Amino acid sequence: MERMQEVVGRARAAFNSGRCRSLEFRMQQLKALERMVQEKEKEILAALKADLHKSGHSAYSHEILGVLMELALAMDKLPSWAAPQPVKKNLLTMRDEAYICLEPLGVVLIIGAWNYPFVLIMQPLIGAIAAGNAVVVKPSEISENTAQLVADLLPQYLDRELYPVVTGGVPETTELLTQRFDHILYTGNSAVGKIVMAAAAKHLTPVTLELGGKSPCYIDKDCDLAVACRRITWGKYMNCGQTCVAPDYVICDPSIQSKVVENIKAALQEFYGEDVKSSPDYERIVNKRHFRRILGLLEGQKIAHGGEADEASCFIAPTVLTDVSPESKVMEEEIFGPVLPILTVKSVDEAIEFINRREKPLALYVFSNNKKLIKRVISETSSGGVTGNDVIMHFFLSTLPFGGVGNSGMGAYHGKHSFETFSHRRACLIKDLKMEGTNKLRYPPSSQKKVDWAKFFLLKRFNKGRVGLFILALLGIVAAVVTKVVYC
């Protein structure tokens, strides 16, 4: 407990010193982080290989490239993001200065996930630094090589007091959560998310929770199945299925189920060759506990493809299940592995009803040549995000907020949304001490005349053209004279 108090206390003292508030300092730290990623690329790739059997090309594409893109965007846009935001004013505040000031929250905690152990720490860290906060970083202990590398590298490049790294497992995280933070961002499962939120509530600390869930994928009969299944196969089996926004299960008409299976098999052959196990592009399950959990989901299921496994290397082949019952074990929890159940429905109405009976997912996917059908599914369901005619790609567009809803999480980040998540939108109104007569509308004693004048000045609408603006300006001057005459 004392160690955690010391770490957080040092970070708070450093934040209170004010040195991380200037844009120059934030930019300096972001440039240092960029330099770290570029200079230590080989070490980062080696850690990802050791933790998840990620090939160099896949690891770079999935983890490093996203971090570099986020850094480039933050450094380019930081001055405009941090600038005061003027707001519209009413007649009684026309002469005043009104704006929103985005200020840092203070000391924030970022708890990363093991499935993408580098990018899921670095992306929110970039937003928190850009917003001017001190950040305590807690990488996942399950991806131990990447966690240790982050702990070793960050102090070499960033301010050690403002951006400390805490390693360890459940005991260390539990102790850390007893400390007071000004915001907590957690990526992981719903069970731990509830623990994080309960701990945060003791200090009234706001949270961003990225929790995942069972993301459905509906395939319409009016669809190019070859293209759809290639895209679904890519998103489902990348990182061995250990992706929070991977399509968790497919819903389709019974008449196309066999064609879906055949097209997925063709895409797997295209991506990984005859021997998936020897493909450098196919990852492994992170540990034996998760390996056994995933295999347990296959019990009693009809395996249309795959199913092979090797516990020694934590290998599970890309697997497709058909004729899956909605009540089966594999449909009870997020799979988070290379197993794709296919459920059949007779119409899009039935698909929408099925999706809505379950917890709100982190992502939802719809494939159809009919854009109206896609938009209907969007309008009649709820999810953290949606991609039509592809999977996962909304995650990579930084102008879109990434986050869940309901059981799949709360809050969002990426790009400017990260900056806003770690900022307080402070309302600022600056007046002068002149034209005191206008204030008599709000001073006692009250009267019906004052109410009538207030209604006129605050509720009257004018057109937005030059004439309207001239009238508003004229009324602003008249207001002071009238109120002074009437109420003096």
Q: Which residues are catalytic?
A: 210, 244
Rounded Cα gap, residues 339 and 240, in angstroms = 9
Token pair of 258 as six digits: 């066999």
Residue keyed to tokens 């109206």: 372
Gyration radius from the chain CA atoms: 27
Q: Residue 422 region, left (φ>0) first, then alpha (ψ -120 to 50), else beta?
A: alpha
C-alpha distances in Å from residue 254, one per residue of 260, 367, 397, 419: 10, 16, 34, 46
Rounded Cα gap, residues 67 and 398, in angstroms = 11
Rounded Cα gap, residues 146 and 140, in angstroms = 9
Token pair of 391 as six digits: 């999977």
Q: Are 211 and 115 in contact (CB under 8 A)?
A: no
Amino acid type, 337: G
Q: Residue 370 region, left (φ>0) first, then alpha (ψ -120 to 50), else beta?
A: beta
Residue keyed to tokens 């998936």: 276
CA dihedral 86, 88, 94, 100 (to 10 degrees): -30
DSSP, res 165: B
Q: Is 263 helix (H, G, I), strand (E, B) or coil?
A: helix
Token pair of 406 as six digits: 């309901």
Residue keyed to tokens 């369901």: 381
Q: Does a cis peptide bond (omega within 30 degrees of 0) precede residue 155?
A: no
Rounded Cα gap, residues 317 and 330, in angstroms = 16
Q: Is 122 helix (H, G, I), strand (E, B) or coil?
A: helix
> Residue 130: which of 109, 104, 107 has the closest Cα?
104
DSSP, res 1: -
Residue keyed to tokens 């040549």: 369
